[in-house]
Amino acid sequence: MSDLGLRLRQNAYLLSVIVLFALVYLLYHAAHPKGFSSAVLVQNSNEVFSLAMLAMAQTIPVLMGGLDLSVGAVMTLVDCLASHLLVGTTTQIALGVLACLVTGALAGFVNGCVVVYGRIQPIIATLATGAIYIGLALFLRPTPGGKLDEDINWAMTNALDDFVGTVGLFSDGLPAWFRPIAGVPTSLVLLVLVATLIWVPFRRSVTGRAVYAIGSSEQAAYMSGLDINRAKLTAFTLAGLLAGIGGLFLAIQTSSGNADIPQAGGYTLSSIASVVIGGTSLLGGSGSAIGSIFGTAVLKVISFNFRIFDIAPLLQPMFEGLVLLSAISLGALRMLRVKNQLELFR
């Protein structure tokens, strides 16, 4: 039991974020005219998914003490690519999905190469590569457009029973075990799958631990014999892959591609905000992508509530900013208790 207590204490911040999310989300459902229904859950999950992917992607460079300003651009690039590729037969679509994921990972790998071999700071390197990816996206889609396969849009952006219906599973009636989960949003399942199949194994691998070690102290990590370059390359590639998944889903969700520069910038900035709310230190070394998912959820649920509680649309941006500011200021209050000022510097 003491082991459990230790784990709880170690994750106290994450737990408080989850509790905050749960409270605000319950409030939202209670006030929503169609609250506690699968339809509302599906809509919310779809709206959260892409940003959650970007926040996970952003977490990895942040854990190393860097920052990736290109996640929004990678998302936009894959979004535009997907709007060209996700049409035709099932095989073509499957290959298209694969190509999109490879593109995302490749973009991340290029980021990694510039950072590792060019020895340029991540924040400025990804600022530059981000411009290049946006340029490529604009080549693919000079104007918004494209029409994705309707089936994949329907299957991915609805509940699980619509997914199995579109795919053609259980054509002779839903089995008993499936019925309780039939209303779960497909995008939520996908989110859990990405977290458990990509993030958790990465976190436990040597490379994943090396990423944390680099964030704590790069010199110490180097002295301990960790392969710094490989860890950085892997980390950026993985970040690109996750951002690519976000872009893929955005294309599926909107059924089209749009090389929208302000949107890309907005997503990048929101991903940083999500990471911080999720409890990952911008100095690196501590935090997790799971926290970032809940950080995204908190950020999004607050804006959902604006819609319900009829706050004038003109005041919404200000409230969003104030919520963000107060969230990060709360975490800083311990600074006022520090006795030795030298502890403030790192």
Shortest approach of another protein to residue 133 CB, angstroms?
Answer: 8
Shortest approach of another protein to residue 87 CB, angstroms?
Answer: 22
Q: Which of 81, 276, 290, 301 binds another protein (CB under 8 A)?
A: 276
DSSP states along 55-120: HHHHHHHHHTT---TTHHHHHHHHHHHHHHHS-SSHHHHHHHHHHHHHHHHHHHHHHHHHHHTS--
Is the distance from CB of 112 to CB of 241 less than 8 angstroms? no
Is the distance from CB of 82 to CB of 274 less than 8 angstroms? no
Q: Could you say whether residue 322 binds another protein (CB under 8 A)?
A: yes
Instruction: Report phi then psi at 57, rounded to 5.
Output: -60, -45
Q: Which of 18, 128, 195, 311 binds another protein (CB under 8 A)?
A: 128
| Alpha carbons 231 and 207: distance in angstroms, whole number | 5
Q: Could you say whether residue 88 binds another protein (CB under 8 A)?
A: no
Q: Which DSSP state fits 145?
A: B
Shortest approach of another protein to residue 5 CB, angstroms?
Answer: 30
Q: Which of 97, 120, 189, 308 binds another protein (CB under 8 A)?
A: 120
Burial (CB count <10 Å: 0-12, 13-18, 19+), residue 197 = exposed
Q: Could you say whether residue 223 binds another protein (CB under 8 A)?
A: no
Name the segment binding another protein (CB under 8 A); options: 20-28, 88-96, 292-300, 332-340.
332-340
Site string for another protein, 250-269 (x = CB under 8 A): ---------x--x------x
Residue closer to another protein, measured from CB, 49 or 141: 141
Q: Could you say whether residue 318 binds another protein (CB under 8 A)?
A: yes
* Residue tagged 């089995």 (tokens): 175
Report CA dihedral (219, 268, 326, 341) to the nearest 10 degrees.
20
Residues lying near another protein in the complex (CB under 8 A): 67, 114, 118-121, 123-125, 127-132, 134-139, 142, 218, 222, 259, 262, 269, 272-273, 276, 282-283, 314-322, 324-325, 328-329, 331-333, 335, 341-342, 344-345
